[in-house]
């Protein structure tokens, strides 16, 4: 779908990630506001992945040598800007390569990455002591001055947050997007896209029931329960479900 935007250029605003199209974010729990809940989710994912919070450059070097962190290099679709440690978890590299390619196509400009792995002794003064940057699972993206591109990026991030594969926060000083990638959920998400599997992840919102979720995805309550090995129909906000979809 092509959308005309007033200004110097026309923008292709297809809401998608990498080579796979995703739906616009429905009303729900996802937001770009930094909250204690968001920090809790990020830290829970770090623990679930058994990630180490790196303390120093020497630890970063050791993780790179062992292949636990991989180099991330500018490639024409995105570029690194003032990144002290250009390394990340492999799934973070996958994310930025896929997002950068489509952002470049949609906006005609490169995505700008301003931070990746940061050991604790290189964290800025205003960083949260609970930041997951020291684990290598996070990155920061510069906030573009172009309004159309900001809207494109924010819709994509919110959609992926609703898919349960990342947490994204807009931070004002300096203006940027902090994104924590959940490696295993994100990897499975990409594998489904590439295989054509119609199963989706869905983050339960307040007021959701299995019946409304099943209807939204054109499936049945019994199929949702079977896919998630649910013994009852009880669900709770924030829960991540695998949902077979006819779409």
The mean pLDDT of the chain is 86
Mean pLDDT in residue range 54-71: 98
Question: Are 114 and 43 part of one and the same domain?
Answer: yes
Between CA 6 and CA 220 the distance in angstroms is 43
Domain match, 210 and 183 both:
no
* Residue 163 domain-assigned (yes or no): yes
Residue 29: what pLDDT?
57
pLDDT at 1: 34
Q: What's the pLDDT at 16?
A: 40
Q: Which residue has the higher pLDDT, 25 or 175?
A: 175
Q: What is the pLDDT of residue 247?
A: 54
Looking at the fold, whether 209 and 155 belong to one and the same domain comes out as no
On the question of pLDDT at 4 being above 70, the answer is no
Cβ 57 vs Cβ 69: under 8 Å: no
- Asked if pLDDT for residue 99 goes beyond 90, the answer is yes
For residues 219 and 140, state if they share a domain. Answer: no
Task: Note the pTM of the prediction, 2 decimals.
Answer: 0.76
Query: Does 208 share its domain with 180?
Result: no
Among 112, 105, 106, which Cα is nearest to 79's?
Answer: 112
pLDDT at residue number 198: 73
Distance (Å) of CA 209 to CA 143, 215, 230, 235: 36, 10, 13, 7
Q: Tell me what pLDDT residue 67 has.
A: 98
Say if residue 122 is in the same domain as residue 231: no
Cβ–Cβ < 8 Å for 114, 142: yes
Which of 158, 187, 216 lies at the terminal end of a domain, its last residue?
Answer: 187
Q: By percentage, how much of the chain surpasses pLDDT 90? A: 64
Domain check: are 174 and 219 in the same one?
no
Q: Are 117 and 221 in a shared domain? A: no
Q: Encoding tokens for residue 134? A: 């020291």
Instruction: Say what the pLDDT of residue 246 is.
Output: 62
pLDDT digits (tens, 9 = 90+) for 69-91: 999 999 999 999 999 999 999 99
Task: Examine residue 208 and state whether it is found in any structural domain, yes or no.
Answer: yes
* Number of domain units in the chain: 2
Element (H or E) spanning 202, and its range? strand 200-203
Assess whether 181 and 211 both reside in one domain: no
**Mean pLDDT to the nearest integer, 122-147:** 95
Say if residue 35 is in the same domain as residue 136: yes
């Amino acid at each position: 779908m092509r959308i005309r935007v007033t200004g110097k250029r026309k923008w292709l605003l297809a809401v998608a990630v990498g080579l796979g199209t995703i739906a616009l974010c429905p009303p729900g729990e996802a937001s770009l506001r930094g909250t204690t809940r968001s920090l809790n989710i990020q830290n829970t994912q770090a623990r679930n992945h058994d990630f180490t919070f790196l303390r120093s450059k020497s630890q970063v070097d050791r993780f790179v040598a062992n292949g636990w962190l991989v180099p991330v290099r500018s490639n024409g679709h995105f570029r690194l800007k003032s990144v002290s440690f250009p390394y990340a978890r492999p799934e973070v590299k996958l994310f930025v390569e896929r997002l950068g390619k489509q952002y470049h196509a949609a906006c005609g400009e490169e995505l700008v990455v301003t931070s990746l792995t940061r050991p604790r002794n290189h964290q800025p003064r205003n960083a949260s002591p609970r930041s997951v940057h020291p684990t290598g699972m996070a990155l920061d993206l510069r906030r573009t001055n172009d309004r159309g591109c900001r809207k494109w990026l924010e819709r994509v991030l919110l959609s992926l947050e609703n898919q349960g594969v990342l947490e994204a926060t807009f931070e004002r000083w300096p203006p940027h997007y902090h994104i924590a990638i959940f490696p295993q959920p994100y990897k499975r998400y990409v594998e489904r896209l590439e295989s054509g599997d119609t199963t989706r992840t869905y983050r339960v919102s307040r007021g959701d029931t299995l019946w409304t979720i099943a209807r939204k995805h054109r499936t049945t309550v019994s199929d949702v329960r079977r896919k998630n090995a649910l013994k009852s129909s009880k669900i709770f906000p924030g829960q991540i479900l695998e949902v077979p979809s006819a779409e």
